[in-house]
Structure 1
Amino acid sequence: MDSQEWIIFILLSLHLCSATIAADIDPNYEWHMCGTSGNYTQNSTYDNNLNTLLSSLSNNVDDYGFYNGSVGQGSDRASAIVLCRGDVELSVCRGCVSDNAVRIKQWCPNQNEAFRWYNICSIYYSDESIIGSLRTTPEIEQHSITPVKNPALFNQDLTSLVDRLRTQAVNGGPFLKYAANSTAGPESQTIYAYVQCTPDLSVGDCNDCLNTAFAKWKESKGNGMIGARVLRPSCFFRYEISSFFGASLINGSNSTPQPLPPPLASASPASSPPPPPQSGKDGNKAPTVTIAASIAAGLVLGVII
């Protein structure tokens, strides 16, 4: 194989490698569920109302990453709740919501109800009246497959942390019910956790949602693992032994949050894997491709020299 063939071979190999990196690292998509309450007909009034609603979500998200609204009347009314993670800056939030709003109908093309959760934003829509109400289903529990070394002490430290965060979140006011922080755990581990409710919930409903979500985790196989989360349309709970959230909203800071949205690396999938990446916005994929391309260019230049 001459030098020119070697260069072509290396270029193709690096291209395949960078494509694999871009496909495997998806910090956005996590899980979806299509409702079972009924289906609608394509081009029906409900379908048109839902399309109008979904297309407007990204622009209507407020400065705290939240929106709820509806389009239509009676049985044709489509309602939606949008929530971004509390530490994600607004531009990233809206980009995530825009992408999510398109893909949720690709996954659930004619169901009256659907819930699609990205690592930094979620969308839930329904033909029922959902605005300002507590929604605990659809629900998903995901967890790591790696156990902690001292479950009893770990759970004790985690419970204390979550109790403090829940108190902070439920009293967050009408704009942002979010709290995140860390605590020292056993075996020199640090436990990171965050909780969040949709800000339209009352203090009591937010507290109930997070309490029952934590109880759900305690009864699951995730109890005793190094990371887990429980996701609901109205609230989220997650913990890890490595940092996964921005520091700007910890301890009550109001500075501009920085997006740090890595997925749960060893979570057990709750649904079929997502389709191949499509064109358009896809969260943090662009930096991955850019880095891979830069590495490829540098290696090729070295081979040529």
Structure 2
Amino acid sequence: MQVKIATTEIRNMALFRFIFLLFLSSCIFAVLADVSVENCSDNSTIPTAQMSANIDSLVAELASSTSQNRFSIATYGKGTDKVYGLGQCRGDVNSTDCTNCIQDAAKNIRTNCQNQTDAWLWQNDNCILRFDDDQFFGKVDPSSFANLYNNDHPQHPSAFKKQLDALISKVSSEAVVPANEGLGRGKSFSVASNATIYALTQCTRDLSRRSCSDCLNIAIGNFSKFCNNEKTVGCRVLYGSCYVRYEIYPFYYPLDS
């Protein structure tokens, strides 16, 4: 017995499947994009109630100033209770998302790192908030990091890596140009892997050109260790003063957003 399915039913089934896959992929993208990473130093417990209050005041000041200026450094308190802080939105993030990001970061960093005097948090990759009881402005600190990577492998790893290396080098050179305020980004189509690679680098704006370059070189130099031996189609490496990421889908904002 032969079973015939009407053409319209086939089309409806195909349409339903397409919509479902589109919905699923959008959910996956949202999950990948909506990732916050914090580093709370276990060796920096808050010694006094006054310092804890100073951190609260500092974080509130940074949230307000960064919302207006996209970048802010500040200090709060006196003597041994003095604390230092930095807030910055990624250079391509629009003003509205910058404000929302830094406000969320201010809430989350005190919730997640409530007993530490040394902490940084990248909120959804769009902004960073950092505080410390030591003066860290202008310094590269590679002692703490976070990494996230995609387990999928490119079709031709060696060709993909060659294309990726060239792209990362290009966007890193853009990031150290003072006018770019620590931001470099771009894309490159890999013929061998049949994929467009997107890459972004960001330094905090307190770093000098040399320090920005040093921080990015440390992050990129650790790709082989942090990014599953550089055989993945996506990875991000985050430090308290710089950030490097690549994917095979667009994840950054257009300049005119």
Look up the equivalent residue of 1:138 and give its one-letter code: S
Shift of 1:109: 1.5
Alpha-carbon distance in structure 2 between the residues aligned to 1:97 and 1:164: 28
Shift of 1:38: 2.3
Q: Does 1:229 align with 2:239?
A: no
CA deviation profile, 1:205-236 (whole Å, cap 9, x unmatched): 11010011001112331511010010011100
Which consecutive unaligned segments of at least 5 residues does structure 1 have? 1-20, 249-255, 259-305
Which residue does the alignment assign to 2:51? 46
Q: How does 1:57-96 map to 2 (within 5 A)?
A: 57-61=62-66, 65-96=70-101
Instruction: Report the RMSD for the aligned CA atoms in angstroms.
Output: 2.0
Alpha-carbon distance in structure 1 between the residues aligned to 2:242 and 2:156: 28
CA change 1:200–1:41 in 2 (3 A) is: closer
SS in 2 for 1:219: helix
Aligned residues: 226
Which residue does the alignment assign to 2:215? 209
Shift of 1:157: 0.7
Counterpart of 1:130 (choices 131, 136, 143) is 136
Shift of 1:83: 2.1
CA deviation profile, 1:125-183 (whole Å, cap 9, x unmatched): 1111112222333201211011111111111111111111111110134x711011100
Q: Determine which structure has greater relative contact order: mean sequence separation of CA pairs < 8 Å that are 6+ residues apart, divided by chain length.
A: 1
Look up the equivalent residue of 2:176 and give its one-letter code: V
Which consecutive unaligned segments of at least 5 residues does structure 2 have? 1-26
Equivalent pair of 1:144/1:222 in contact (CA under 8 Å): no
Shift of 1:29: 3.8
Counterpart of 2:204 (choices 189, 198, 202) is 198
TM-score, scaled relative to structure 2:
0.82
TM-score, scaled relative to structure 1:
0.69
Equivalent pair of 1:58/1:95 in contact (CA under 8 Å): no
Alpha-carbon distance in structure 1 between the residues aligned to 2:94 and 2:62: 16
Equivalent pair of 1:41/1:110 in contact (CA under 8 Å): no
Look up the equivalent residue of 1:165 and give its one-letter code: V
Which residue does the alignment assign to 2:160? 154
Alpha-carbon distance in structure 2 between the residues aligned to 1:237 and 1:65: 19
Equivalent pair of 1:115/1:138 in contact (CA under 8 Å): no
Equivalent pair of 1:81/1:123 in contact (CA under 8 Å): yes
CA deviation profile, 1:185-211 (whole Å, cap 9, x unmatched): 122211000001012211111101001
Which residue does the alignment assign to 2:174? 168
Alpha-carbon distance in structure 2 between the residues aligned to 1:62 and 1:105: 18
